Structure 1
Amino acid sequence: MKQLSLLMVTLLLVLSCDTNAVYKEYTDIDDGKWYIKNAPTFTFEIKDASIPYNIYYNLRNSLSYGYYNLYLTRYLRDADGKEIESRLDELILMDPKTGRPNGDGLGDLFDHKFLMKRDYRFPKPGKYTMQIKQYMRQDPLLNIQSVGITVEKAISTN
């Protein structure tokens, strides 16, 4: 039985590895209360600007989250702090009609990975910062446990 448990843990670790990920980070939201003034920031380095990248939102919410969607504003800045892009995105966390949660769930918590940018080419190698703000009418926004980003090398289909 002990060997089976060890095998399952090892298998989970292998399957959960993002081989194309160059950056993956989460910020926990204190007590599941996301205040508008709390804007998590993620700084990552791009070493090869000649290839495209996919960038994802990572989000964890509890089933008690009061809406089917979540509006976020993202800000991408270069190493000098110059804003390259800002945009408002809507993430659909639950089916609007049935209330059935999207994402991967375990108990009361659901993890989501939403594509933010596909095949994005960074202007040059260097450090970049992504800042994320919640853009809902409620402050604080309740039952959001963590938010983050993943930056992956885009997989070529050629």
Structure 2
Amino acid sequence: MNNYLTILFCGMLLMSCNINMDYNKYTPIESHQWFSNNTIEFVVNNLDTISKKNVFINIRNNKNYEFSSLFLITKIEFPNGFQVVDTLEYEMTDSEGNWLGTGFTELKENKLFYKENVVFSEKGDYKFNIQHATRSIHDIEGKNPLTGITDVGLSIEKVK
């Protein structure tokens, strides 16, 4: 009986840690090579049309990522078909070249603010598309893959 109660308590504790999390999903990047025409899509069904939310783009990278910043083109498609497109830049290293983000191994995770205090006022499916636009000086057209990005994620949290 004590084992059952311990397991139940631990499960409830783990579930309560992310009580503000509405959505959290990652897409792995095959062979850690993200081609510029490979758009990552997340479909989120919104049932809460009142609460304010923060939206984050989550990037996992390893030591093979060769740039100090990351450029992304993002698109949100609302249930009514309206679209919002943004071009974003995120710093991936500090001024000395040390990786930003969390993690004790060569894998770092960056939780990047995308939208703050947003209310998704329509019920239905919201489509989030993320595409990279990072290029080397010798690859203006984006023919070479971006190496070192292992996963791309999207998370949506209720504002406290």
Q: Same fold (TM over 0.5)?
A: yes
CA gap 1:150/1:29 in 2 versus in 1, 3 angstroms: same
Q: Distance in 2 between matches of 1:17 and 1:34?
A: 32
> Gapped runs of 5+ residues in structure 1?
1-9
Q: Distance in 2 between matches of 1:48 and 1:73?
A: 26
> Gapped runs of 5+ residues in structure 2?
1-9, 136-141
- 2:4 aligns to what? none
CA offset digits 1:19-56 (Å, max 9, x no partner): 21111110000011000111010001111111111000
1:146 to 147, 151, 156: 151
Q: CA deviation at 1:83?
A: 3.7
Which amino acid in the other structure matches residue 127 of structure 1?
D
- Number of corresponding residues: 144
Percent identity of the aligned residues?
Answer: 27
- Pair member with larger Rg: 2
TM-score, length of structure 2 as denominator length: 0.82
TM-score, length of structure 1 as denominator length: 0.83
- 2:64 aligns to what? 64
- 2:100 aligns to what? 102
Kept after mapping to 1: 8 A contact 2:79/2:123: no
Q: Distance in 1 between matches of 2:14 and 2:126?
A: 28
Q: Distance in 1 between matches of 2:122 and 2:109?
A: 32
CA offset digits 1:56-105 (Å, max 9, x no partner): 0111000221111100011000235x24311011111111x201111112
Kept after mapping to 2: 8 A contact 1:75/1:83: no
